[in-house]
Amino acid sequence: MSRPRIFVTQPIAESALNRLRAVADVEVNPDSSRVLPKDKLIAGVKRADILLCLLHDVIDRDVLTANPALKAVSSMNITQDRIDLAAATELGIPVTNIPAIVTDATADIAFGLLLAVARNIALGDRLFRQGVYPGSQSNHLAGYAVSGKTLGLVGFGRIGRAVGRRGGGFGMKIIYCDPRRLPEAEEQKFGATYGSFEDVLRQSDFVSLHPQLAPETRHLMSDAQFALMKKTAFVINTARGPVIDEAALVRALKEKKIAGAGLDVYEFEPQVSPDLVAMDNVVLTPHLGSGVLELREGMANVVADNCIALIEGKPPVSCLNPQVLKKLF
C-alpha cells in the first residue's frame, strides 16, 4: 500500500514536518513570504490525499473538487474562515482545526499596536532610520497618553479579557460590551464596567475590537460608529478585517473624526487600502496575531496530530464537521 501524500501550503515547524514525514510523503510549498495563489494551491491539492493549509488559504469548492481522491483538509485555523465547510461536508471531506490557543499572543499584538500608534513608536522608528532626530523634548513626535486612559473592548471573550488585563496593568479604566454581560462578581474580577456598544464608542480613548466575524458583525465599524468616537480616540483591530468598513475608516481618518488606528487584519487581506499605508497615524502589521515562534510550533504540531490521527483512522484532536469522520486510509 502506498504512503499517504500531504501537501503543505507554506513551511511550518520542522518538528511537525518530521513527524508527518514518518507516516506520509510530504510536499511543502517553500515560499513563506506570500499566500499561495489559487492555481498553485489547486495544483498541490491534485497531488495530495491530505491538504494541510494555513489561515489565509481560501479552501473553496474549486479547491475541494480539484482532486476526487482528496480525503481530508487539516487547517491551522481555529474557525472555518475561508473554508467552504458546507461543500467539504457534502463531499465527505473532514476538515480539522486547532483549539483556541492564540489568546495571549493576540492580546500582546493588540496592546503592542495600541502603544505603537498612540506613542508614535513605528513613525519614530521610521524617521530615526532616515536621520530625523527632533530632540528628546521636541513636540515633533509627541503622542497620546496610554496610562490611566479608558480602554473600550468590543467583545469580552477570551482575547478581549486578556487585552483588558493588559490595560489594567497600565491603570486604564476598562469598559466593555458583549452580547452576554458577565455577572457582577466577574466584572469586578476583571475591573471592567459594562456598557452598550454606543457607550463604549463614546467613552473610550482606545477601542479594541474582538467580536467573532458573522453577518451581523461585518462592517460593525462604519461611518456612524466612527462618528461616535472621540476625535482623540484610536481604533485597534486584531479580530477579523471585515469587522471594519475600511473605506469608512479611511474617511474617518482623513476627516480627523478619530486620531488613528492600529491594524493587524484587513477587510480584503492580503490587500490593504493605499490610503491607510500612506498615513502616519496608522500602524499596520501583516496579521501577526499568532506570530510567536513557540506558539506556531505548537500549532503546527496540533495540525500534525490531526493528520496522523486521520491516517491511522483515529479521531482527530478537533474537527469542524465530525459527522463525516470515518476510517479514511
219 catalytic per annotation: no
Query: In whole angstroms, what is the distance from residue 231 CA to residue 204 CA?
Result: 11
Query: In whole angstroms, what is the distance from residue 323 CA to residue 311 CA?
Result: 17
- Residue 327 C-alpha cell reads as 476510517
Superfamily of domain 103-284: NAD(P)-binding Rossmann-like Domain (3.40.50.720)
Q: Please, what is the average pLDDT of the chain?
A: 95
pLDDT attached to residue 329: 63
- Residue found under cell 482532486: 67
Q: Where are the domains of the chain?
A: 5-101+292-324, 103-284
287 catalytic per annotation: yes
Q: Which of 19, 161, 210, 287 is catalytic?
A: 287
Do 5-101+292-324 and 103-284 share a fold? Answer: yes
Q: Is the pLDDT of residue 281 over 70?
A: yes
Q: Is the pLDDT of residue 1 over 70?
A: no
Q: Which of 166, 240, 246, 267 is catalytic?
A: 240
Q: Which of 27, 187, 269, 297 is catalytic?
A: 269
Tens of pLDDT, residue by residue over 216-266, are 999 999 999 999 999 999 999 999 999 999 999 999 999 999 999 999 999
Section 146-155 average pLDDT:
98
Tens of pLDDT, residue by residue over 36-80, are 999 999 999 999 999 999 999 999 999 999 999 999 999 999 888
240 catalytic per annotation: yes
Ramachandran bin of 235, using left for φ above 0, alpha for ψ from -120 to 50, beta for the remaining angles? beta
Distance (Å) of CA 320 to CA 42, 80, 86, 156:
22, 7, 10, 24
Superfamily of domain 5-101+292-324: NAD(P)-binding Rossmann-like Domain (3.40.50.720)
Tens of pLDDT, residue by residue over 180-195, are 999 999 999 999 999 9
Enter the pTM of the model.
0.88
pLDDT attached to residue 250: 98
